[in-house]
Homo-oligomer: A and B are copies of this chain.
Amino acid sequence: MSKTSPGRFFEDYRLGEVIDHAVPRTLTAGERALYHALYPARHALHSSDTFAQGCGLPASPFDDLIVFHTVFGKTVPDISLNAVANLGYAEGRWLAPVWPGDTLSARSEVIGLKQTSSGQTGIVWVRTTGRSQHGAPVLDYVRWVMVRKRDAAAAAPDTHVPDLRAALDPGDLTVPEGLDFTRYDFAASGERYALGDYTKGEIIDHVDAVTVEEAEHMMATRLWQNTAKVHFDTRARPDGRRLIYGGHVISLARALSFNGLANAQMLAGLNAGSHVNPCHASDTVTAWSEVLDTAPTDAPGIGAIRLRLVASTEPGTDLRDADGRYLGHVLLDLDYWALCPA
């Protein structure tokens, strides 16, 4: 039995340690098609080579969340196999488009450690970078998770909580080389709204909803080679229910947000995110967005829009109760920057 990996426990991490995650992954037109089968994704830049070419790109790049899930999946065996909870994201940036045929690999640096007061668990902060076969970074982000200790009596490490920014500035965002929205085709994209049509504080209810099936979330999660047992094995949790990978909910909500945000074409920054409540098969997931900010960029015709994206199992755009706690039907509260026509 000694050859199988039980995953790392809290006391296995050292501040500053660099972990090269195993199994680089080549992504192809097959992953692209599966993404469209698994999520109601319709953003034109990721659906159509001709649309992407009209925006200055050589072809349609992968949906930015395919890149996120693939890199994230690589980290699971080393970071979150024994995680109790995925606590947050920060400082996430998409740095270059990824194309069919590219091979992604991932590396993480441990940038923070803090044992929790119970002494049973600790919080690990990692900064993960995904790279293509050319060595160029395509994505980096910080994630922190609560991880079990193997041995509650093991000594606590020195506490180091990294200093993370609440949100990226528009100037921190990378616009893909060549991207140009000056001749943007609003008829082909599906909606007529440009950056100036959105106002801070505006709420958009995306109306559509999807009732989720076990086969779907497991196929998606396997596609990203995410190995966390709780997503696949009904014996992994006391209640006998499989937990849906939080990233599945992110992709569902982002795809549903097409209806009202069809022109928020590419993700550029991930400011923050919380998986507020677990999602299970047979839940019906709906989504709404709040416009948090808008900003120009230096790139031709391109603006940046900062959005809160909320996934919920109930209609409506409520988020918290009177005491400021998330409502029980809220699944996800995500804060990101997207690129759209200015």
Q: A residues touching B (Cβ–Cβ < 8 Å)?
A: 1, 3-6, 20, 22-26, 28-34, 36-40, 42, 44, 47-51, 60, 77, 100-101, 103, 105, 133, 187-191, 193, 197, 203-211, 213-216, 218-220, 222-223, 225, 227, 229, 232-236, 242, 259-262, 284, 315
Chain B residues near A232 (CB, 8 Å)?
Answer: 40, 208-211
B4-A206 in contact (CB<8A): yes
Assuming the contacts A23-B42, A42-B225, asked whether A103 and B48 have C-beta atoms less than 8 A apart, the reply is yes
B219-A37 in contact (CB<8A): yes
Give Cα A219 to B213, complex, Å: 10
Give Cα A210 to B227, complex, Å: 10
In the complex, given contacts A22-B187, A30-B31, what are 4 additional A-B residue pairs having Cβ atoms less than 8 angstroms apart? Answer: A24-B51, A208-B227, A209-B233, A233-B284
Contact partner, A205, options B4, B23, B38, B236, Cβ 8 Å: B4
Min distance, Cβ A42 to any Cβ of chain B, angstroms: 5
B233-A210 in contact (CB<8A): yes
Give Cα A103 to B182, complex, Å: 22
B30-A44 in contact (CB<8A): no
For residue A31, which residue of chain B has the nearest CB? B33
A218-B209 in contact (CB<8A): no
Contact partner, A223, options B22, B33, B203, B227, Cβ 8 Å: B33
Chain B residues near A218 (CB, 8 Å)?
Answer: 210, 213, 216
Q: Show 6 A/B contacts (Cβ-Cβ < 8 Å), sorted by A.
A: A23-B189, A24-B51, A26-B49, A26-B60, A28-B100, A47-B225
Assuming the contacts A50-B24, A205-B4, asked whether A40 and B222 have C-beta atoms less than 8 A apart, the reply is yes
Min distance, Cβ A26 to any Cβ of chain B, angstroms: 4
Chain B residues near A193 (CB, 8 Å)?
Answer: 3
Give Cα A36 to B37, complex, Å: 13
Contact partner, A4, options B26, B37, B229, B260, Cβ 8 Å: B260
Chain B residues near A213 (CB, 8 Å)?
Answer: 213-215, 218
For residue A186, which residue of chain B has the nearest CB? B22
A5-B233 in contact (CB<8A): no
Give Cα A287 to B284, complex, Å: 32
Contact partner, A22, options B20, B44, B214, Cβ 8 Å: B44
Chain B residues near A1 (CB, 8 Å)?
Answer: 203-205
Min distance, Cβ A251 to any Cβ of chain B, angstroms: 12
Contact partner, A50, options B26, B50, B189, B205, Cβ 8 Å: B26
Chain B residues near A220 (CB, 8 Å)?
Answer: 37
